[in-house]
C-alpha cells in the first residue's frame, strides 16, 4: 500500500486556465499539506516531523521545495529547527516562547528576570455568548463560552488583569481548579489537555481608566491610566479560539513590539 501523498495532475491548455485562475508556487502547496497534518494532529506540539528527505518522498517533490515550505512555517513560528536534531512542531510549553504573545516587559531586565508570574484565578464560569463575543469567536449568539478572569503579578505586584472568553465545546472540563493547579503557560495547557494550539494573534491597544472592580484587583488609585489590550488568538485555519481583554499597569513596564 502506498501512503505517499502526491499533488494532483495539472490539466493542460484551456482547462488549465479554467481550473487554476491563480498560480500557487509548489512550495506553498507543500506548506499547505504540512499545515493539514499539523491541524489534524498527525504531529503534535513538541514532536519532531519527518525529515526533509522523507517529506520530499511523501509529496513527490524535491528536497529544496520541502525546505522552502518548512522555512516559511518556521518563520511563522509553527515549526522549530534544531541544529543536528531535526524540525519540531512549535509549542507554547518551551521556555523561550512562554511569553510569545505577551509584549509587556519591565523597564529594566525582562520577564524571565522577574521570575514566574504569580497567577490568581478570580473567576471561571460558563455562560452564553453575547452577540459581540459570538461574533469575535465565530459562534452563534447564545452558544456556550467559558469566561475566565485572572490577575498576573510580577515580583508580588499585580500588573495585568485579564478577562478571557473561550468557545465552550473545545474546552469542556476546563475549571478554575485546573487553571490554578497548572503551573505552566495557559496556552501550553490548552495544547496538552485540550488539543488547541494558538498559532497567531491580533491585538487592539488603547489607553483607558479602570472601573471600581478593576481598580481594586490591580490595587491602583482612582484615575490611574492603564493600557487596554484586546487580543484574538487563532488556531490553524484562522479559527478564533480566544478573546482576551487585558488591562496592563505600566508604571514599571512598557509594551514592546519588534517590527520588521
Distance set, CA 239 to CA 16, 93, 96, 155, 228 (Å): 31, 21, 25, 35, 23
Task: Taking residues 226-241, report their average pLDDT.
Answer: 94
Residue 75 pLDDT > 90: no
Within this chain, do residues 171 and 110 fall inside the same structural domain, yes or no? Answer: yes
Please indicate, yes or no, whether residues 134 and 33 belong to a single structural domain of this protein.
no
Q: Are residues 150 and 211 in the same domain?
A: yes
- State mean pLDDT over 27-40: 90
CATH number of the CATH domain containing 70: 1.10.10.10
pLDDT value of position 2? 46
126-169 pLDDT, tens digit per residue, is 999 999 999 999 999 999 999 999 999 988 899 999 999 999 99
**Closest-CA residue to 197 (of 105, 94, 92, 117):** 92
One domain for residues 160 and 192: yes
149 contacts 122 by C-beta, under 8 angstroms: yes
Asked if 128 and 237 sit in the same domain, the reply is: yes
Domain coverage including residue 73: 14-89
Q: In this structure, is residue 9 part of a structural domain? A: no
Helix (H, G, I), strand (E, B) or coil at 243: strand
| CA–centroid distance for 231 within its chain | 10
Does residue 158 share a domain with residue 176? yes
What is the total count of domains within the chain?
Answer: 2
Q: Is pTM beyond 0.85 here?
A: no
Q: Which three three-digit cell numbers place residue 124?
A: 471561571
Grid coordinates belonging to 14: 484551456
Taking the C-alpha atoms of residue 100 and residue 6, their distance in angstroms, rounded to an integer, is 35
Amino acid at each position: 500500500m502506498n501512503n505517499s501523498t502526491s499533488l494532483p495532475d495539472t490539466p493542460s491548455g484551456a482547462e488549465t486556465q479554467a481550473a487554476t485562475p491563480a498560480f500557487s508556487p509548489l512550495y506553498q502547496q507543500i506548506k499547505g499539506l504540512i499545515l493539514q497534518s499539523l491541524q489534524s494532529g498527525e504531529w503534535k506540539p513538541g514532536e519532531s516531523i519527518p525529515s526533509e528527505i522523507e517529506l520530499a518522498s511523501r509529496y513527490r517533490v524535491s528536497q529544496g521545495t520541502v525546505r522552502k515550505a518548512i522555512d516559511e512555517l518556521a518563520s511563522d513560528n509553527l515549526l522549530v529547527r534544531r541544529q543536528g536534531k531535526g524540525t519540531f512542531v512549535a509549542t507554547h510549553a518551551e521556555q523561550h516562547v512562554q511569553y510569545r504573545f505577551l509584549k509587556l516587559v519591565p523597564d529594566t531586565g525582562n520577564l524571565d528576570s522577574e521570575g514566574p508570574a504569580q497567577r490568581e484565578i478570580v473567576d471561571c464560569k460558563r455562560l452564553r455568548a453575547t452577540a459581540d463575543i459570538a461574533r469575535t469567536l465565530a459562534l452563534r449568539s447564545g452558544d456556550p463560552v467559558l469566561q475566565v478572569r485572572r490577575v498576573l503579578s510580577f515580583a508580588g505586584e499585580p500588573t495585568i488583569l485579564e478577562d478571557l472568553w473561550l468557545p465552550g465545546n473545545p474546552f469542556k472540563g476546563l475549571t478554575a481548579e485546573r487553571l490554578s493547579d497548572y503551573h505552566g503557560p495557559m496556552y501550553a495547557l490548552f495544547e496538552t489537555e485540550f488539543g488547541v494550539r494558538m498559532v497567531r494573534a491580533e491585538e487592539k491597544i488603547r489607553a483607558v481608566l479602570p472601573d471600581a472592580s478593576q481598580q481594586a484587583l490591580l490595587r491602583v488609585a482612582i484615575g490611574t491610566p492603564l493600557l487596554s489590550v484586546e487580543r484574538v488568538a487563532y488556531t490553524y485555519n484562522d479559527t478564533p479560539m480566544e478573546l482576551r481583554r487585558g488591562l496592563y499597569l505600566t508604571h514599571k513596564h512598557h509594551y514592546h513590539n519588534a517590527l520588521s
